[in-house]
Amino acid sequence: MTHEKIILATEGKENQRSIDTYLANGGYTAIKKAAKMDRKAIIDLVKASGLRGRGGAGFPTGLKWSFVPPDDGKPKYLICNNDESEPGTFKDRHISSVNPHMIIEGMLIGGYTVGAEKGYIYSRWEFQLEIGYLEQAIKEAYEAGFLGQNIFGSGINFELDHYSGAGAYICGEETGLISSLEGKKGQPKLKPPFPALEGYLRRPTVVNNTETFCNIPHIITHGAEVFRRYGTEKSPGTKLFSISGALNRPGVYEVPLGYSLKKLIEEDCGGLKDGKKIKAVVPGGMSAPLLMPAQVETATLDYECMQEMGSMLGSGAIMIIDDQQDVVDLLRITTDFFAHESCGQCTPCREGTGWLKNLVNGILEGTEGPAAVDRIYQVADHMEGRTICALSDAAAWPAKSYVKNFGEEIKAYIEKKGNRA
């Protein structure tokens, strides 16, 4: 299957990530157009496009930008969230490798629009190779006069720097990221105030996902209607999906939102390997509740459908669980992960993630009987909506989903193992 690529336009081309390739593909013309536009007109255009944040929450980008207060002569900041820490997600890594200049141009336009003259790209440490690509792209953009002071004589100033994380899931949460950029533990901050009013160093700050920024040049150049050619009414545009598991062609696919999940798996990815069958699908990163095979048949990849099916689109990270997999082990990996990554600020999350981990490991070690299955659900239920950030919810949702969909299988495992009741 071939689809029109907007964000991955240079994918596979020679020197795909160089500034010359980007310029040859019409790069850095959107910022020139934007520089002649009124800032409010840009926000209205982004609002009209219906672009929703691609990091996981799906918050309307234009609306986020509109919250930034007018200039007061003091600094404002713009941050690209390239932390991409949700297990299953690797699309922003791919963009960093294929088209880093599109991130920079999107940030330039964003900076001009909200009045921020300083930006940071924050990447997770594990992206060592891609951090090199991003730093090279920033260097090229400075040399070509697209970053710095009075860019191409437009009066726009924008300084951009790269910042590397150090291995912490929670830094993908925007206020956790801001704490990290301030040189602190990546602990999220209480909202309100939202970063648009008080973010980095308590100054107005906009944090957008890498892929979100990459949609901006296209919207500026071609307008909201062209952007809306793809996708659905409530989820317009194309979206990058990271898809992995026992597939013939796992990878990153840019497809229109609303695309059929089944088609993506069977046609684009060439189906499952070695005649394996789907046991369940994680549609939106590790935190997303599971989709069962019957749901996979009709699921479309957009925010509305995933919500209707009781899951979420999240960051577009699809993991295929095949029929050879043991769900107790997958649940253990999931609960171990969140217990490790909880930042420890809020009791329901710090304690709850630990309890879930202990219950699941107890099942595997033979110290927990069948009652543990319902207890996992109860503990998870008490972790939702009670904390500063969404990590606690992110830990609770998959735990509940495994119990809901595979409770009998987990109980059968316990019985077979002969755990005491």
Q: Is 219 in the site for another protein (CB under 8 A)?
A: no
Residue 201 DSSP label: G
Taking CB under 8 A as the criterion, which residues in 52-81 touch another protein? 75
Q: For residues 3 and 32, which CB has a smaller minimum distance to another protein in the complex?
A: 3
Residue 278 C-beta: closest distance to another protein, Å: 12
Site pattern 337..356 for another protein (x: CB under 8 A): x--xx-x-------------
For the chain, the first-to-last Cα distance in angstroms comes to 52
Residue 368 C-beta: closest distance to another protein, Å: 21
Q: For residues 183 and 418, which CB has a smaller minimum distance to another protein in the complex?
A: 183
Q: Is 169 in the site for another protein (CB under 8 A)?
A: yes
Residue 125 C-beta: closest distance to another protein, Å: 5
CA distance 202 to 192: 12
Structure tokens at 261: 């999940």
Of 333, 317, 338, 337, which is closest to residue 391 (Cα–Cα)? 338
Residue of 76, 124, 189, 357 that binds another protein (CB under 8 A)? 124
Q: Is 406 in the site for another protein (CB under 8 A)?
A: no
Q: Is 246 in the site for another protein (CB under 8 A)?
A: yes
Helix axes 91-98, 210-227, angle to 10 degrees: 80
Of 83, 90, 243, 94, which is closest to residue 169 (Cα–Cα)? 83
Q: Is 271 in the site for another protein (CB under 8 A)?
A: no
Q: Is 139 in the site for another protein (CB under 8 A)?
A: no
Q: For residues 129 and 371, which CB has a smaller minimum distance to another protein in the complex?
A: 129
Q: Which stretch binds another protein (CB under 8 A): 3-11, 13-21, 122-130, 222-230?
A: 122-130
Helix axes 391-417, 327-341, angle to 10 degrees: 140
Q: For residues 216 and 318, which CB has a smaller minimum distance to another protein in the complex?
A: 318
Q: For residues 10 and 82, which CB has a smaller minimum distance to another protein in the complex?
A: 82
Half-sphere exposure in the Cβ direction for 56 (13 Å, CA): 25
Q: For residues 333 and 371, which CB has a smaller minimum distance to another protein in the complex?
A: 333
Q: What is the 3-state secondary structure (H, E, C) of 25-82?
A: CCCCCHHHHHHCCCHHHHHHHHHHHCCECCCCCCCEHHHHHHCCCCCCCCCCEEEEEE
Structure tokens at 385: 């909506």
| 410-412-414 Cα angle (round to 5) | 70
Of 205, 199, 187, 207, which is closest to residue 57 (Cα–Cα)? 207
Q: Is 88 in the site for another protein (CB under 8 A)?
A: yes
Q: Is 363 in the site for another protein (CB under 8 A)?
A: no
Binding positions for another protein, rule: CB under 8 A: 75, 84-85, 87-90, 93, 118, 124-129, 161, 163-169, 180-186, 200-201, 242-246, 250-252, 282, 286, 317, 319, 321-322, 325, 329-330, 333-334, 336-337, 340-341, 343
